[in-house]
Amino acid sequence: CGVFGVVGLPEAANFVALGLHALQHRGQEAGGIVSHAPGIGFNSARRFGYVRDNFTKASLMETLPGHLAIGHVRYSTAGSKGHTQIRDVQPFFGEFSMGGAAIAHNGNITNADALRRELIDRGSIFQSSSDSECIIHLMARSLQRNIPERMKDALRRCEGAFSVVAMTRTKLIGVRDPLGVRPLVLGKLGDGWALSSETCALDIIGAEFVREIEPGEMVVITENEGVQSYFPFERRASRFCIFEHVYFSRPDSIIGGRSVYDTRRMIGVELAKEAPVDADLVCPVPDSGTPAAIGYSQESGIPYAMGIIRNQYMGRTFIEPTEQIRNMGVRLKLNVNRALIKGKRVILVDDSVVRGTTSRKIKEMILDAGAAEVHFRIASPPTSWPCFYGVDTPEREKLLAATMSEDEMCAHLGVNSLRFITLDGLYRAAGVPEGRDPAAPRYCDACFSGEYPVAPSDMLEKGFQL
């Protein structure tokens, strides 16, 4: 998901809509905005579909006045059952004795089932099936006298990944979990401030990137007093999601002082060193494989070419909830550039193999078009474990790499060769020259290593085997 918030700017909701539009790649199912204006109070709008189709209409935006607003773009993750209902669309809102508060959450709370059971037993009335709603109910039960303190109380009980943007009548609040699994950044525009999942959304409103919110940090921002910083959790070494660098974030964002584009290009460079192969062309599976393919071509000297053309009017296929639509999705979105491919030995670079649906379809299309050889090079290690921290991966059994070795996957996909970058190679590309330190890994890499930095307690209770 993507979160964005603004304080101290007139028509804040319009800035939030722009920010969410730039974060649309983080969630395409639905979006929501809450704003507050003195004398008017809180207003909210939640809609299915793209930000640009909903939050550009003057008739809707006029219902969201004020200098303070937050928003959320949603895609549902492993924990959520079935299809999104409008009541699952964030921000969530709660009314407390000291006033209202709205929250937007990116990540996944790994003990949400246990919290929900406890809260329901004690009288909470849940409105949605979302793990994020626990935060509001935990805040309601806190005895603290102000909302930031109640948020601290609530989040201290939450395990897992959370980057939260919240608001009261006067405050914009941002929090990252102690490991800083999901991103959150601070920006400044004139007299106003912005919080955003990624820097690309600060660019769109012309805000200056100030800094990242630190893992375990809470910032409370008001129009008059600016930014106050707190560290409400026990300090721990950070474990940012390495898959944000590989796939999830936009390549024009800056994360941890690094250009996401450059990290992806360096993954391609590492891949070319680790897994060279003689071929005529390096082609990306667009768009997610593009920077790595550029790096692979630069390092290998094999020409880069657009062997697969992407229909720009399709979203991210992975985000389509059902198997059938996902299968269709590949063909609706990607097509082979036949004139270029015929008779060629082609290296295809993609970011990841999850279920193998994309790779299998693409191999068929490219052989149909007359390619002489197909070599897959993948910009992440085999995905053999599910993510419980806010990236949508299927159950373990559906992950190709959970049941097959690399050779078996190669045979299953029917390609001439298949190689994945190593975890060390990925760490080097992501700015850790010495590679992955097994004693203290710099990143979360659980979907590749099976080492979960936070025990997924709900899942363990349901019988998930580590």
Instruction: Name the binder of 37 from ligand 5GP, ligand SF4, Mg ion, none, CB < 5-8 A by kind.
Output: none
Q: Token pair for residue 57?
A: 């209409």
Which range binds ligand 5GP by CB under 6 A, 176-184, 203-211, 215-223, 388-396?
Answer: 388-396
Pairing of strands 258-259, 254-255: antiparallel
Give the C-alpha separation, 391 to 408, whole Å.
26
Q: Where are the alpha helices (DSSP H) in 95-145?
A: 112-121, 133-141
Is 388 within 8 Å of 110 (Cβ atoms)?
A: yes
Q: How far is the CB of 239 from Mg ion (least distance, A)?
A: 25
Looking at the DSSP assignment, which residues form a beta bridge with residue 174? 165, 219
Using the rule CB under 6 A, is 358 a contact of ligand 5GP? yes
Tracing tokens 């004795």 back to the chain, one arrives at 97
Give the C-alpha separation, 347 to 344, whole Å.
10
Tracing tokens 């299998």 back to the chain, one arrives at 360
- DSSP symbol at 321: S
Please, which of residues 312-341 interact with ligand 5GP by CB under 6 A? 316, 318-319
Which range binds ligand 5GP by CB under 6 A, 50-58, 121-129, 206-214, 350-358?
Answer: 350-358
Q: How far is the CB of 413 from ligand 5GP (least distance, A)?
A: 10
Q: How far is the CB of 453 from ligand 5GP (least distance, A)?
A: 17
Using CB under 6 A, pick the residue from 45, 135, 155, 241 that binds ligand SF4. 241
Give the C-alpha separation, 203 to 212, whole Å.
15
Using the rule CB under 5 A, is 380 a contact of Mg ion? no
Query: What one-letter code names the amino acid at 425?
Result: G
Using the rule CB under 6 A, is 242 a contact of ligand SF4? yes
- Residue, CB closest to Mg ion: 288
Instruction: Name the binder of 354 from ligand SF4, Mg ion, ligand 5GP, none, CB < 5-8 A by kind.
Output: ligand 5GP
Using the rule CB under 6 A, is 181 a contact of ligand SF4? yes
Give the C-alpha separation, 123 to 131, whole Å.
17
Pairing of strands 281-284, 345-350: parallel
Using CB under 6 A, pick the residue from 74, 355, 377, 436 that binds ligand 5GP. 355
Using CB under 6 A, pick the residue from 50, 193, 243, 420 that binds ligand SF4. 243
Using the rule CB under 5 A, is 288 a contact of Mg ion? yes
Going by C-alpha positions, the residue among 379, 372, 286 that lies closest to residue 334 is 286
Using CB under 6 A, pick the residue from 391, 399, 409, 423 that binds ligand SF4. 391
Q: Of 142 and 288, which CB lies nearer to ligand 5GP in the complex structure?
A: 288
Going by C-alpha positions, the residue among 236, 348, 244, 242 that lies closest to residue 302 is 348
Instruction: Name the binder of 174 from ligand 5GP, ligand SF4, Mg ion, none, CB < 5-8 A by kind.
Output: none
Using the rule CB under 6 A, is 351 a contact of ligand 5GP? yes
Known catalytic residue at 1: yes
Tracing tokens 């690309």 back to the chain, one arrives at 200
Q: Of 119 and 348, which CB lies nearer to ligand 5GP in the complex structure?
A: 348
Element containing residue 148 per DSSP (H, E) = helix 147-156
Contacts for 442 with CB less than 8 Å, ≥ 6 apart? 238, 239, 240, 427, 432, 436
Looking at the DSSP assignment, which residues form a beta bridge with residue 378? 350, 420
Residues in the chain, overall count: 466
Using the rule CB under 6 A, is 350 a contact of ligand 5GP? yes
Q: Of 54 and 358, which CB lies nearer to Mg ion in the complex structure?
A: 358
Contacts for 353 with CB less than 8 Å, ≥ 6 apart? 359, 376, 378, 382, 383, 400, 401, 409, 420
Give the C-alpha separation, 344 to 366, whole Å.
10
Using CB under 6 A, pick the residue from 92, 296, 376, 389 that binds ligand SF4. 389
CA 273 distance to own-chain centroid: 28
Instruction: Name the binder of 389 from ligand 5GP, Mg ion, ligand SF4, none, CB < 5-8 A by kind.
Output: ligand SF4
Size of the residue set binding ligand 5GP (CB under 6 A): 19
Using CB under 6 A, pick the residue from 212, 392, 445, 458 that binds ligand SF4. 445
Residue 328: φ, ψ to 5° = -60, -45
Is 281 within 8 Å of 346 (Cβ atoms)?
A: yes
Q: How far is the CB of 181 from ligand SF4 (least distance, A)?
A: 5
Q: How far is the CB of 127 from Mg ion (least distance, A)?
A: 34
Using CB under 6 A, pick the residue from 387, 413, 426, 454 that binds ligand SF4. 387
* Site mask for ligand 5GP (CB under 6 A), range 235-274, x = bound: ------------x---------------------------
Residue 141: φ, ψ to 5° = -85, -15
Give the C-alpha separation, 25 to 291, whole Å.
16
Which range binds Mg ion by CB under 5 A, 7-15, 106-114, 126-134, 285-293?
Answer: 285-293
Using the rule CB under 6 A, is 288 a contact of ligand 5GP? yes
Residues that bind ligand 5GP (CB under 6 A): 247, 285, 288, 316, 318-319, 350-359, 391-393
Residues that bind ligand SF4 (CB under 6 A): 181, 241-243, 387, 389, 391, 444-447
Residues that bind Mg ion (CB under 5 A): 288
Residues annotated as part of the active site: 1
